[in-house]
Amino acid sequence: MSQAVQERIAFLTEELNKHNHLYYVESNPIISDFDFDMLLKELQDLEAKHPEYASELSPTKRVGGDITKKFQSVVHRYPMLSLSNSYSEEEIVEWEQRLKKLAEGPIEYVCELKYDGVAIGIRYENGKFSRAVTRGDGTQGEDVSANVKTIRSIPLTLKGNFAADFEIRGEIFFPRKNFEALNAQREELGEPMFANPRNTASGTLKSQDSKVVAERGLDCYLYGVYGDDLPFESHLESVNGVKEWGFKTPLEKDKYIHKTNSIEGIMEFIHFWDKERFNLPFDIDGIVIKVNNYEQQQDLGFTAKSPRWAIAYKFKAERVSTILEEVTYQVGRTGAITPVANLKPVLLGGTVVKRASLHNADQIEKLDLYLGDEVYVEKGGEIIPKIVGVNEAVRSNAAEKVNFIEYCPECNAQLHRRDGEAQHYCTNDLICPPQVKGRMEHFISRKAMNIDGLGAETIDLLYQKGLASSVADLYDLTFDQIVNLDRMADKSANNLMKGIQDSKTIPFERVLFALGIRFVGETVAKNLAAAFKHIDAIAKASYEELIAVDEIGEKIAIAVQQFFQDEKALATIERLKQAGLQFEIEEVELASNKLEGKTFVVSGVFSKFSRDEIKDLIEKNGGKNVGSISAKTSYVLAGENMGPAKLEKASSLGIAIISEDDFIGMIG
């Protein structure tokens, strides 16, 4: 009897998974909804009577019912970076031309819809759903597995010749039809209606009751595959390939995804969907363009925030009119003054807009703004509201012209505008409160010094109490000073003291980023640290030495030199040195110097090591990795499927091409 029950549960599970896929992924049902429901009810009854045979991945999980009190944080195996955004076709052209200079050989591009939803990463192990995690901050997200299991277009078990362990990423969204039905239901019940599908999808995915998620009918397209042993060589091949494993992916026949080798093809795709997007059953807010070939993607690499091989084009948003009531001014941590338009509240893109950035004095002058004007507002990239025009025909004769301020709204110091720049600055950086606190907030942030127990509120308290007016003051704080702050108990004070102490082990490149040098972001700080090794060497570097470093141009080089000419900055660095912070790169002990003076280009797929492991071995044995082949290259380390363009270039320059086994022999 028990074997018969177990076999029936297995049969029903397989049948329901098959019909679920046909209905939600293939849009090709072969049984009626009634018949499907009868099979599902039979399985539910059997599992209730024999829970020992029920699977965590049973089709009955699709109806939800699990209650989640707290979503666990999960560190991504592969960072979920966001794409750099573009709002003009000219920027797409510039991006494509830039790639042609960086990449070897002809480039194929894949154009996709930019779904307006919630990014998700789902891991599968041995063909079974393992875990679903939101993007979060890109480094870690939240485990929403119980809710994602209810989305019927996402398979719980795979079919075909799938990879053993991989992650697939995509976008969960609210289909317009389901969203409109939900709002109609809420209106009928007298409940407030939801503003837009994207925000509602995000809120639904974080619901504590998975039954609510199941009832709302979210959907998902999956299109990004990550893993160590995947059988694909290009992005489009992987998108088409994983469809055979059971995933709902964008299809070429629907024109949701398209391969091209030209900027003309990219523009054709953009123009088509700029007009047709309103006919889709879901919302999109732009187009994503990616380099198709995985090897070229690896060669092009990443910045600190986004891949170089992909870009997003954002469609222009709707425009509304409202009344300009007031202009106020904000002071940033660098002293930059940003004017802000305070508006009569108006609905735009599904959200209520009350404020809009006016950017700078030139923008105010260009718009010729008067208080009380009727202004036209858009969302730049459908995120940040901005004023794009004025209806001068209805302006009052008594209206007061908006003139940019001359003095800092925080400290009353006279503002200064640097030659060639649009921004005004408060140069009273030692006293102006937003600048003082802003520098400290940047210094303690997670990607900089990452001081646990210290946030913006505590920084404000320390400043108000006169305990910290520079980043160096943080390292002079005592337990007694901290514990006497408002809402600060012994445990919190101890945690903060420990966080400050632990920050002394933060590596040099992050300390350099934390200093807040103008234009020096994470990537630039890392490049500077790698090139000069020590803070004193950067301080003494000439303009020519600085611009010789990767990704550092004239603007950054001048900003770095100006920073190290400031006596106040040098005094702060000296105090931080005395506190014990890391101001030089710790030299890694080499395994050997067998590859000293040799440069390598690594290309292809290897059997004994991953590419990253090989690159690490090169450096540990005194060698240097470079991204492209030149006359200065010593060796090309070639694995399987090495690009023909690289092979041809190496041969034409007479550069030695070695195998993985040759390399192992070189380092012993």
SS3 51: helix
Predicted pLDDT at 84: 84
Tokens matching residue 647: 């092979």
DSSP conformational letter for 469: S
Q: Does domain 508-579 have CATH number 1.10.150.20?
A: yes
DSSP, residue by residue, 122-171: EEEETTEEEEEEE-TTSSEEEB-HHHHTT-TTS-SB--SS--SEEEEEEE
Q: Which positions of the chain have pLDDT values less than 70?
A: 1, 23-25, 27, 33-34, 37, 63-69, 187-191, 349-350, 380-384, 588, 627, 641, 643-645
What pLDDT, in 10s, does the model give residues 162-212? 999 999 999 999 999 999 888 888 766 666 778 788 888 998 998 888 888
What pLDDT, in 10s, does the model give residues 448-477? 999 988 988 999 999 999 999 999 999 999
Predicted pLDDT at 382: 46
Q: Look-up: residue for tokens 């959200």?
A: 351
Please name the fold of domain 2-63. Helix Hairpins (1.10.287)
What residues are annotated to the active site?
114
Amino acid at the residue 317? A
**CA–CA distances in Å: residue 128 to residues 99, 156, 165, 323:** 38, 6, 9, 55
Tokens matching residue 447: 């990607």
**CA–CA distances in Å: residue 590 to residues 81, 259, 628:** 32, 45, 24
Amino acid at the residue 594? K
The candidate with the shortest Cα–Cα distance to 121, out of 113, 129, 111, is 129
Predicted pLDDT at 318: 74
Distance CA 635, CA 656 (A): 5
What residues does each domain of the chain span? Answer: 2-63, 75-310, 320-417, 433-505, 508-579, 599-667
The CATH superfamily holding the domain 433-505 is: 5' to 3' exonuclease, C-terminal subdomain (1.10.150.20)
Distance CA 640, CA 309 (A): 22
Rg from Cα positions in the chain: 29
Q: What are phi and psi of 196, to 5 degrees?
A: -155, 160
The CATH superfamily holding the domain 320-417 is: Nucleic acid-binding proteins (2.40.50.140)
Distance CA 359, CA 367 (A): 12
- The architecture that CATH gives domain 599-667 is 3-Layer(aba) Sandwich (3.40)
Predicted pLDDT at 381: 46
- Domain 75-310 class, CATH top level: alpha beta
List the beta bridge partners of residue 495. none
Predicted pLDDT at 68: 66
Contact 236, 109 (CB under 8 A): no
The domains spanning 433-505 and 508-579 adopt the same CATH topology? yes
Contact 523, 303 (CB under 8 A): yes
Contact 342, 404 (CB under 8 A): no
Predicted pLDDT at 102: 87
C-beta atoms surrounding 20 within 10 Å = 20
Distance CA 636, CA 600 (A): 6
Is residue 22 within a helix (H) or strand (E), and if so which, with residue range?
Answer: helix 2-24
Contact 627, 646 (CB under 8 A): no
Predicted pLDDT at 649: 81
Distance CA 154, CA 132 (A): 11
